[in-house]
Structure 1
Amino acid sequence: MKKLLVPTDFSVHADAALDFASQLARKHDAEIFLTHVVLTPVNWTKLSKEQEKLYPDTLEVIRNAKKELSLRMERLNEIGVRANERIHFSDGKERLVSYLASEKIDMVVMGSHGKYGFKAHVLGSNTYTVLRKAGIPVIVVKPSEKAFSFEKVVIATDFNEASGKAFQKIGDTIRFMGGTPDLLFVNTPANFMEDAQIKQLGKEFLKKFGMYPHEIHIYSAYNTERGILQFAQEENVDAVALITHGKTDLQQLFSPSVTENLVTYLDKPVISLNVTAFDS
């Protein structure tokens, strides 16, 4: 993983994500792609310089964005991190996923605005919605007084074979960050199974998709989110990872809303990867 995309709105929350990405970049000689999204009234890339003058407010936003990006690029240069900056113009027709593909971005690191609800306060919730379709790991972090650690990370899974390839990818991501992932199966009343059944599922799943040893934890809870939250707090894990599915009507696969709820309520980094990008 050599290319890390960091979306920024220039807040302290985005800067926390940039700090974390910088740690990874320095450790692994990776490159940071610092990106700011500017909402434009039209397709900005199609305008001539003369036509741009018809939108003075947007020009002012772009000028300020360039200044803020330059300040952060200076700091990255000072600490010896390879980086480049980019302003992404969005008129409602997202083109960010194609940019990720063209630049061969490996991972996204973005910030969260705190415990006030995902939709309103996660950094660039619309951007996050786009990014999670890209088939690369997305890591959401919150500002922390402690140094980020990924030694103890748990992957929430249902052992469904459809998530096998994504499981391998997210495992590689965790190891890239210095962690050793364990597995968590949340046993809920709606899809209750006996422990022996769950352990057998896990054994078969790891036999097919596991490349390293993994400890399997079983936790009973009323629903998936509640189980993950309680387990993460009780075991004091450093981060939580999960594989989501774009279709929320499949009970056996985690929906994207689970990730959003975890980001809102969990005071830990959350790593997500959408399994649909691995569908053949």
Structure 2
Amino acid sequence: MKTIVVPFDFSPYSLAALKTAQRISVKNHAKVICVTVIPSELDWDLLSEEAKLKHQELIDEREEALQVLPDYIRQVAPAKAPIDLVVKIGVPSEQILRVAEQNQADLILIGAYGKGFKDGNFLGSNLQKVLRNSCCAVLAVKEALDGNAFRKIAFATVFNPSGKEAFEKILPLAKAFKSSIHLLFVNTPEHFTNSAVSDAQMAEFIKGNEQFVIHKQVYNHKEAEQGIMEFCEKEGIKLVGLVSGNRKHASSYVIGTTETLIYKSDLGVLSLNK
């Protein structure tokens, strides 16, 4: 993991994301890029200089952010490694994704509202748009994850090629923090699998990664999302990874497992694209 992009809007949630990114950076020397976006429906990057001058208020807001951010970040999130500060103008989700793509980011680390948050339209949030369209992994956190939170990582999956490909992407993180990995299969009535089959699938799934401490876990529950949350609470796990699948063309009102966990739990949720 070489580059982490952190959207920052001065909220406590974005500060939690920044501190988490710093924690990861300490372990693997990743570059942290902090992105603040001045909201506008304009595609600022495509405007001519002449056209930009017609929007002096946006220019002033950007200049103010560039002046305030360095000292503010040093005060609230001091770190040994420098943080690259970027201030953009435009649609926040689009600018976040653009910066991540331009810098070939390995991870977008974004703050998420806490469990039960109701003020605002979650379905239309920038977080969901970033999750659905990101070219890299996305880690959503409500509170800063310290080193202990990375000691145990749950990876919830069904055992298919997409899940295997996503699983490989958490291994560098697990190696950096010497994490134990809890490979989790939630056995639901709708997709019931007997123990012999799930054991065989898990053994095949982790083959070739014997250098990691991997616990094979089957948890029975009527709902997959609730089963993941209950398992993590029982085991004291703060971070869960899962394959995101391809949701770019899904309807905006369709909430998948990733969004459900972010909205209904206090877990750090790592969405890994296949």
TM-score normalised over the length of structure 2: 0.83
Look up the match of 1:90. 90
Relative distance call for 1:164 and 1:210 in structure 2 (3 A) is farther
CA shift at 1:118, angstroms? 8.3
Instruction: Give the whole-Å Cα distance in 2 for the aligned partners of 1:9 and 1:17.
Output: 11
Which aligned pairs between 1:212-223 and structure 2 lie closer than 5 A?
Answer: 212-223=212-223
CA shift at 1:8, angstroms? 0.8
Which aligned pairs between 1:116-155 and structure 2 lie closer than 5 A?
Answer: 116-117=116-117, 120=120, 125-131=125-131, 133-143=133-143, 149-155=149-155
Instruction: Give the whole-Å Cα distance in 2 for the aligned partners of 1:273 and 1:150.
Output: 16
CA shift at 1:178, angstroms? 4.0
Letter matched to residue 233 of structure 2: Q
Secondary structure in 1 matching 2:203: helix
Look up the match of 1:168. 168
Letter matched to residue 43 of structure 1: D
- Given that 1:97 and 1:131 are in contact with CA atoms closer than 8 Å, whether structure 2 keeps it comes out as no
- Given that 1:225 and 1:258 are in contact with CA atoms closer than 8 Å, whether structure 2 keeps it comes out as yes
Secondary structure in 1 matching 2:214: coil
CA shift at 1:116, angstroms? 3.2
Instruction: Give the whole-Å Cα distance in 2 for the aligned partners of 1:242 and 1:77.
Output: 29
Relative distance call for 1:114 and 1:197 in structure 2 (3 A) is same
Relative distance call for 1:248 and 1:221 in structure 2 (3 A) is farther
Look up the match of 1:193. 193
CA shift at 1:94, angstroms? 2.9
Aligned length: 270
With 107-116 and 130-139 compared, the bigger mean Cα shift is at 130-139
Letter matched to residue 187 of structure 2: N
Look up the match of 2:239. 239
Q: CA RMSD in A?
A: 3.3
Relative distance call for 1:61 and 1:98 in structure 2 (3 A) is closer
CA shift at 1:72, angstroms? 4.0
Relative distance call for 1:111 and 1:13 in structure 2 (3 A) is same
CA shift at 1:181, angstroms? 1.1
- Given that 1:164 and 1:209 are in contact with CA atoms closer than 8 Å, whether structure 2 keeps it comes out as no
Look up the match of 2:25. 25
Relative distance call for 1:163 and 1:96 in structure 2 (3 A) is same
Look up the match of 2:269. 270
Instruction: Give the whole-Å Cα distance in 1 for the aligned partners of 2:62 and 2:234.
Output: 45
Relative distance call for 1:209 and 1:158 in structure 2 (3 A) is farther
Instruction: Give the whole-Å Cα distance in 1 for the aligned partners of 2:60 and 2:148.
Output: 35
Relative distance call for 1:118 and 1:226 in structure 2 (3 A) is farther
Secondary structure in 1 matching 2:155: strand
- Given that 1:113 and 1:121 are in contact with CA atoms closer than 8 Å, whether structure 2 keeps it comes out as no
Relative distance call for 1:39 and 1:77 in structure 2 (3 A) is closer
Instruction: Give the whole-Å Cα distance in 1 for the aligned partners of 2:44 and 2:163.
Output: 38
CA shift at 1:128, angstroms? 4.7
Look up the match of 2:228. 228
TM-score normalised over the length of structure 1: 0.82
- Given that 1:5 and 1:105 are in contact with CA atoms closer than 8 Å, whether structure 2 keeps it comes out as yes
Relative distance call for 1:174 and 1:263 in structure 2 (3 A) is farther
- Given that 2:174 and 2:180 are in contact with CA atoms closer than 8 Å, whether structure 1 keeps it comes out as yes
